[in-house]
Amino acid sequence: MGPGTSTIQKMPNPAEPAARKPDPRGPDMRVSLAGVPLRSPVIAASGTFGYGLEFEEILSFRRIGAFVTKGLSAQPMAGNPAPRIIETAAGMMNAIGLQNVGVKAFVEQKMPRLRQIPDAVVIANIFGFTIADCLEVIQALNDAPGIALYELNASCPNTAHGGMVFGTDPRLLEELVRKTEQISQRPLMVKLSPNVTSIATMAKAAEDAGAHALSLVNTFLSMAIDVETRRPRIANVTAGLSGPAIKPIAVRMVYEAARAVKIPVVGLGGILRAEDAVEFLLAGATAVQVGTASYADPRAVENIAEGLKRWCAAHHVAHVTELTGGLQL
Ligand SMILES: Cc1cc2nc3c(=O)[nH]c(=O)nc-3n(C[C@H](O)[C@H](O)[C@H](O)COP(=O)(O)O)c2cc1C
């Protein structure tokens, strides 16, 4: 969507207050994310939900807001050598290295099947080693019907180039977002790296360059050593830490980012229960994503979405949107 060509604001949106009627069956869980209406603010995070198809028999797509695909690159990627996942005290470390089928196979083989799943809202996660790579992925996705939104991964810690390099330099991030937004035919959400000194600076840089929403956080750069062999426990040496261990840092970062920008912020990092999601919403998030929790329980995203609904009912929250930024200081 280049300058002056954006239709995002004009799209009819049943989640807008004017169109919203109180639901006698319970709290209204609908939210609007950059013009995309979602049934619930709870979304399955990238890299922990495959291409969605793997979860068709496991949970109800009707009960969750959306899901984000594994990161898609211009060419198929085999990822890093094993071992590339380990469990930690309160989470996990991974250095998958963006293993994926490539955007062409996603569009030709996965998307037609995904479109058969009623109620599945697809967010395509985009990765590239260079800006040109990212543009190639977006071009390929633009022609594929059935995708609601793009999430641009400017934050993967597990590749030597691209990924986190974009997400830690505000000028590079601005250039990446500006160029991708210009050709994007869908709302563009930019996924920020937590491996920075000032998340507010990065959030503002992405907003100024044209991002329609932000998601944060990706994993924290980390390392573990086997003291018997004295070798790294992950073949890539360093890896990304996720899960409950990172939640308090992620909540702080969402709070700081949400205060710095006007565009919606999607919060994630260590969400296991409905109350964790509420924390992110109160910190300023419009929606949340659930990642590592799906490894322990493949139905976690649905359970958290349903739990959030019950939490709202028990706390007399008529519309889940009331929680966003509700932190009392
Ligand atoms: C195994 C694994 C693979 C991941 N792959 C991706 C990816 O391809 N693209 C991306 O943007 N984030 C990826 N992530 C990051 C997650 O989407 C999420 O940002 C992070 O894990 C923090 O959330 P969590 O603590 O709920 O897992 C991955 C995370 C894990 C654990």
Q: Please tell me if the CB atom of residue 291 comes closer than 6 angstroms to any atom of ligand 1.
A: yes
Q: Please tell me if the CB atom of residue 246 comes closer than 6 angstroms to any atom of ligand 1.
A: yes
**Centroid of ligand 1 to alpha carbon of 21 (angstroms):** 35
For residue 142, give both structure tokens: 């633009």
Q: Please tell me if the CB atom of residue 135 comes closer than 6 angstroms to any atom of ligand 1.
A: no
Distance, first Cα to last Cα, the chain:
38
Give the closest residue (by CA) to ligand 1 atom 10. 46
Give the closest residue (by CA) to ligand 1 atom 17. 46
How far apart are alpha carbons 70 and 48 in whole angstroms?
Answer: 7
Residue 49 DSSP code:
S
> pTM to 2 decimals?
0.92
Give the closest residue (by CA) to ligand 1 atom 12. 46
| Residue to probe by mutation, ligand 1, list 272, 292, 303, 304, most atoms within 8 Å of CB | 292
How far apart are alpha carbons 218 and 206 in whole angstroms?
Answer: 15
**Centroid of ligand 1 to alpha carbon of 45 (angstroms):** 6
How far apart are alpha carbons 77 and 68 in whole angstroms?
Answer: 18
**Would you say 30 and 317 are in contact if contact means Cβ atoms under 8 Å apart?**
no
**Centroid of ligand 1 to alpha carbon of 289 (angstroms):** 10
pLDDT, tens digit, 9 for 90 and up, residues 55-101: 999 999 999 999 999 999 999 999 999 999 999 999 999 999 889 99
Handedness of CA 211, 301, 84, 87 (dihedral sign): positive
User: Residue 9: what pLDDT?
Assistant: 41
**Residue numbers of the chain with a pLDDT score lower than 50:** 2-20
The CATH superfamily label for domain 31-323 reads Aldolase class I (3.20.20.70)
Give the closest residue (by CA) to ligand 1 atom 5. 47
How far apart are alpha carbons 263 and 9 in whole angstroms?
Answer: 12
User: Residue 74: what pLDDT?
Assistant: 95
Q: Which residues pair with 284 in a beta bridge?
A: none
User: Residue 167: what pLDDT?
Assistant: 78
Closest ligand 1 atom to the C-alpha of 85?
A: 1
User: Residue 284: what pLDDT?
Assistant: 98
* Torsional class of 188: left (φ above 0), alpha (ψ -120 to 50), beta (otherwise): beta
Any idea which residues carry the catalytic annotation?
156
Q: Please tell me if the CB atom of residue 243 comes closer than 6 angstroms to any atom of ligand 1.
A: yes
Residues 6+ apart with CB under 8 A from 24: none
User: Residue 2: what pLDDT?
Assistant: 44
Q: How many CB atoms lie within 10 A of CB 240?
A: 26
**H-helix or E-strand spanning residue 208:** helix 199-208
**Would you say 310 and 289 are in contact if contact means Cβ atoms under 8 Å apart?**
no
Residue 28 DSSP code:
B
User: Residue 93: what pLDDT?
Assistant: 98
